[in-house]
Each structure stands twice: as structure tokens, then as C-alpha cells.
């Protein structure tokens, strides 16, 4: 396999990851004198703040996903390649991926984060993460199939395992998932499963710290906890999950909770880059960058968004910025300006994060929001949450569909999206993925590949 990108006299910017930061960077380089190459393991941009609504069958996956090739149609000197990053060789300015190598003048890591299991292999193998659309669809399938099996199983113990849902992590995702599943229990189960008492379903939200939404104020945390308890969620604070075995979530104090729906949203870690030296990696496996999002010591290499950590450079965020969409968006926008400035020989501008506030929703008419000195909770915070997220979704069609779904759900909870669908991959795709997974790129092979690539580029020139 090969990238098959034509050589050019323009400087080439390779962007790894099409999330908020990578997309913003690519868009702001539109009229710049660069050849832009976007690399992502998926062929679409997804909108993470609403992924939990896929898991609860509130909206369809296509409503919050948008194909990269649609976004960048009729864009000159732009190329998208679906691939996974394996390693980077900054001395030769080459990025190794699952489909081959690509040379770059500027390389930007913007691949975001993955679920952090904190080294607990048993939890990693048995829990359900929820970082992307495919994982949310997996959770939806698991929930609906467990409901179906709960109707037909012969053991009361098994039925309770199928109907208990345990969510680990009291951040925004955990809170939103708990709220959505509570509404499913209260409004959907009585209609879809009239022969199964909804009271049998129990939802547990477990947080190791003393309060939910630790990134927000104690006042806001108290509001969220009160909302969830009123909705019937069992909120367990100061409880640490240590294991999962025999369909039991095991807590540090010895308590066990029976469940076959074990959802893990307790933390994230930066997407790993195979051979990147440990000196470039900081807290949370994030790539260390300076005030200009440069990876120090690596010529032409940058990192933005959740995948990077900027310590000490921004006086208001000495321990690093929060892993929020706005940070990635602002860094992507500024990096585009700085790359243009580099080409013109002008001075670079350091990054200063402008905090636009944080939000989280718990359910219908219930949300919290903090903007500087203003704190909101309840209906008006929920309305603001709806407006902000609707505006942020790509595409007029997607905005319209999501708005329609929200209005329909508000009055009826009668969505017809509760399908159990498992995709079957074609044999050709399975075989190709197996071949790619079995490839090991050693140093000798890489050296040969670098030489071949250099010869090929010389011949093209």
C-alpha cells in the first residue's frame, strides 16, 4: 500500500486526526500555500458531546457523523487517507502508517484520546468504553440485547445481572450516560417491555472522588447529584472500582455489584504514537508542547487538542489545559495562523486559552452550565446546552435531524431507533485488516523504506 499523493513544490502539512482541532486546522489552511494531508482511522468526523445519545438510542449515528470527503469536496491540494499511525521518524520527516509512509514538512498530531483503564487488564477486557460512535453503538446493542434476554432467562440472578447497569466515572460523560439511561428506564421500558417491571432496572454511577463533575464548582456538582438521585440513579461517591469478575463489579471496600452492562468512562489517555521517545510524553500520555504547540526537539512536529499538554506556557493553566473541545478548536485555529507566519518569516503567537465555559446535561429540562462568574442549573441551562450543541454540529441536514429527534423525544419518547444491529465485515476487509495487523515495521525495513521513498521522490522531481 502507499499514500499515492503527488509531489508538489508546496510545503506539505500532515494532520493526524480529524477531531475538533484537526478539522479546524485543516479548514483554516484552506487558502494557504500548503498541501494538506489528513490522516484518520475513520473516514468521518464525529461529534463526541452527543455520542452518549447514540448509546441510549436517542439519535442515529449518522446524525453526529460527517464524512471527511464531503467536508473537503472541491478543495485544492487536500488529500484524505484512512489509516492508523504507527510511528514517526523526525530525522527523515516521515510518518509511518498502516497503509505506508508519507513525508512531511510539518506534522501535527491531533488524534485526541482513548479510554484509560489505568493498567487494569481485566476491566479493559470486560467493560464497555464509550469514546466514539462505534463504541456507543456497541453499548446500545448490549443494552437492548440484555433487555431482550432478561425477558426470557430462567434465573432471577441472571435477570438482575442483565438489568443492572454500572457506570464508572463521574465526569461529564458518566453523568450524561446515567441521565440518559435513567430516562430510558422511566419512559421507554414501560412502553417497549410492558411485561417486565421497569423497577427491576438499577443504574449505578460510581465515582472515586468526593463529588461528580470535579472540573466544575462544588455548587454545580451538588445540583447534578441532586438531579440524578431524583431520577433514580444510585450515585456512589468515594468508591473505587478495582476489578470485574464473574459478572460482578468489585469495589475497593469489598462491595460487589452484579451486572452484565459494565460501562467504563473513568478517564482518558492521549493516543499513543508508537516510537515517540518517553521524554516527549507527559501526564495522561499527552505529548508535551511549548507555547506554540511545538514538540520540542522535533523539527516541524506539533501537537494540539487532547493529545497534547502545555505546562507552564500559559500562565492561567500552568498544569495544562482541560481536555475540552474549545481548547482543541482554539489551538487548531492559532496553529494555522502560526504555520502561515512561519512561511512568511513572521513572529509566532503563543497560545492563550479563552475559557468559554463548561456545560453538562443530565436529562430533559436538567443541565448545568458555568460561564466565568455565572452558574446556571435547570431548565435554562438545558436550553442553552441544546442551542450550543446544535450550532456546533456539522451540516444543515444533521442539525435538522438532531433538532427533530430532540423535539420528538421531548414530547413522546417514541423514537424508532432501538435496533440491535451487528455489522458483518466482508471477508476481503477482514483479510486486509489481518494482514495489516501482522505487519511489524523494524528499523531495517524502515531504513529500506526511507531510501526507496527518497529515490522515488527524486525521480518524480
Q: pLDDT (tens digit, 9 = 90+) per residue, 386-395? A: 999 888 887 7
- Whether the CB-CB separation of 237 and 368 falls below 8 Å is answered with no
Residue 235: phi and psi, rounded to 5, are -90, 120
Percent of the chain residues topping a pLDDT of 90: 71
Q: Give residue 324's Cα distance to chain centre.
A: 10
For the cut 90, the answer to whether the pLDDT of residue 425 exceeds it is: no
Confidence of residue 276 (pLDDT cuts 50, 70, 90): very high
Measured CA to CA in angstroms, residue 457 lies from 76, 103, 451 at distances of: 21, 10, 10
Between CA 215 and CA 246, with CA 180 as vertex, the angle to 5 degrees is 90
- Cα separation, 197 vs 418, whole angstroms: 19
Neighbours of 313 (CB within 10 A): 17
- Whether the CB-CB separation of 169 and 266 falls below 8 Å is answered with yes
Q: Which residues of 34-66 are buried (b: 16+ CB within 10 A; e: fewer)?
A: bbbbbbbbeebbbbbbbbbbbbbbbbbbebbbb
Predicted pLDDT at 444 = 40
Percent of the chain residues topping a pLDDT of 70: 94
- Whether the CB-CB separation of 62 and 45 falls below 8 Å is answered with no
Predicted pLDDT at 123 = 95
C-alpha cell at 210: 468526593
Close Cβ partners of 383 (under 8 Å, ≥ 6 residues apart): none
Measured CA to CA in angstroms, residue 37 lies from 79, 92, 105, 272, 461 at distances of: 5, 18, 11, 20, 19
Q: Give residue 96's Cα distance to chain centre.
A: 23
What value does the mean pLDDT of the chain take? 89
Q: Structural domains in the chain?
A: 11-41+83-115+269-356 (3.50.50.60), 121-266 (3.50.50.100)
Measured CA to CA in angstroms, residue 50 lies from 21, 223, 354, 371 at distances of: 17, 21, 23, 21
Predicted pLDDT at 447 = 43
C-alpha cell at 205: 454511577
For the cut 70, the answer to whether the pLDDT of residue 102 exceeds it is: yes
Instruction: Report the DSSP beta bridge partners of residue 248.
Output: 245, 258
Confidence of residue 416 (pLDDT cuts 50, 70, 90): low
- Whether the CB-CB separation of 166 and 262 falls below 8 Å is answered with yes
Nearest to 117 by CA among 245, 269, 237: 269
Per-residue pLDDT reduced to its tens digit, 305-336 = 999 999 888 888 988 999 999 999 999 999 99
Confidence of residue 193 (pLDDT cuts 50, 70, 90): very high
Task: State how beta strands 366-371 and 374-377 pair.
Answer: antiparallel
For the cut 80, the answer to whether the pLDDT of residue 222 exceeds it is: yes
For the cut 80, the answer to whether the pLDDT of residue 245 exceeds it is: yes
Dihedral sign of CA atoms 75, 76, 78, 82 in order: positive
Q: For residue 304, give the DSSP letter.
A: -
pTM of the model: 0.88
Predicted pLDDT at 238 = 97
Residue 381: phi and psi, rounded to 5, are -65, -35
DSSP 78-110: EEEEE--EEEEETTTTEEEETTEEEE-SEEEE-
For the cut 80, the answer to whether the pLDDT of residue 414 exceeds it is: no
Measured CA to CA in angstroms, residue 128 lies from 107, 116, 261, 377 at distances of: 32, 12, 8, 30
Amino acid at each position: 500500500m502507499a499514500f499515492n499523493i503527488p509531489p508538489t513544490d508546496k510545503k506539505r502539512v500532515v494532520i493526524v486526526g480529524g477531531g475538533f482541532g484537526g478539522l479546524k486546522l485543516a479548514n483554516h489552511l484552506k487558502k494557504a500555500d500548503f498541501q494538506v494531508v489528513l490522516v484518520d482511522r475513520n473516514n468521518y468526523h464525529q461529534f463526541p458531546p452527543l455520542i452518549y445519545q447514540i448509546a441510549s438510542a436517542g439519535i442515529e449515528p449518522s446524525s453526529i457523523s460527517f464524512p471527511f470527503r464531503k467536508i473537503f469536496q472541491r478543495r485544492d491540494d487536500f488529500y484524505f487517507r484512512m489509516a492508523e499511525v504507527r510511528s514517526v521518524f523526525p530525522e527523515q520527516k516521515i510518518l509511518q502508517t498502516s497503509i505506508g509512509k508519507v513525508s512531511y514538512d510539518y506534522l501535527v498530531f491531533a488524534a485526541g484520546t482513548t479510554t484509560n483503564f489505568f493498567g487494569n487488564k481485566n476491566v479493559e477486557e470486560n467493560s464497555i468504553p464509550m469514546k466514539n460512535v462505534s463504541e456507543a453503538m456497541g453499548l446500545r446493542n448490549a443494552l437492548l440485547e440484555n433487555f431482550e434476554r432478561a425477558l426470557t432467562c430462567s434465573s432471577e440472578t441472571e435477570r438482575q445481572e442483565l438489568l443492572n447497569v454500572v457506570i464508572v466515572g463521574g465526569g461529564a460523560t458518566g453523568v450524561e450516560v446515567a441521565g440518559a439511561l435513567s430516562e430510558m428506564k422511566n419512559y421507554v421500558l414501560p412502553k417497549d417491555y410492558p411485561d417486565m417491571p421497569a423497577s427491576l432496572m438499577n443504574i449505578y454511577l460510581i465515582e472515586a472522588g468526593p463529588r461528580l463533575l470535579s472540573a466544575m464548582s462544588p455548587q454545580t456538582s451538588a445540583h447534578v447529584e441532586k438531579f440524578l438521585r431524583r431520577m433514580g440513579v444510585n450515585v456512589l461517591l468515594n468508591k473505587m472500582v478495582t476489578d470485574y469478575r464473574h459478572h460482578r463489579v468489585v469495589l475497593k471496600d469489598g462491595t460487589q455489584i452484579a451486572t452484565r452492562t459494565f460501562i467504563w468512562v473513568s478517564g482518558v489517555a492521549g493516543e499513543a504514537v508508537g516510537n515517540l521517545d518517553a521524554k516527549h510524553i507527559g501526564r495522561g500520555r499527552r505529548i508535551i508542547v511549548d507555547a506554540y504547540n511545538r514538540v520540542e526537539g522535533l523539527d516541524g512536529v506539533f501537537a494540539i487538542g487532547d493529545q497534547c499538554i502545555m505546562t507552564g506556557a500559559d500562565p492561567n493553566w500552568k498544569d495544562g489545559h482541560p481536555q475540552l473541545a474549545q481548547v482543541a478548536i482554539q489551538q487548531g485555529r492559532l496553529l494555522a495562523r502560526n504555520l502561515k507566519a512561519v512561511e512568511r518569516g513572521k513572529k509566532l503567537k503563543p497560545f492563550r486559552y479563552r475559557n468559554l465555559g463548561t456545560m453538562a446535561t443530565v436529562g430533559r429540562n436538567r443541565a448545568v452550565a458555568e460561564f466565568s462568574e455565572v452558574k446556571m442549573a435547570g431548565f435554562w441551562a438545558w436550553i442553552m446546552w441544546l442551542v450550543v450543541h446544535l450550532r456546533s454540529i456539522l451540516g444543515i441536514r444533521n442539525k435538522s435531524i438532531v433538532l427533530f429527534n430532540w423535539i420528538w423525544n421531548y414530547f413522546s419518547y417514541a423514537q424508532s431507533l432501538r435496533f440491535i444491529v451487528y455489522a458483518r465485515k466482508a471477508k476481503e476487509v477482514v483479510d486486509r485488516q489481518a494482514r495489516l495487523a501482522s505487519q511489524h515495521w523494524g528499523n531495517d525495513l524502515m531504513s529500506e523504506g526511507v531510501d526507496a521513498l527518497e529515490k522515488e521522490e527524486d525521480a518524480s522531481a
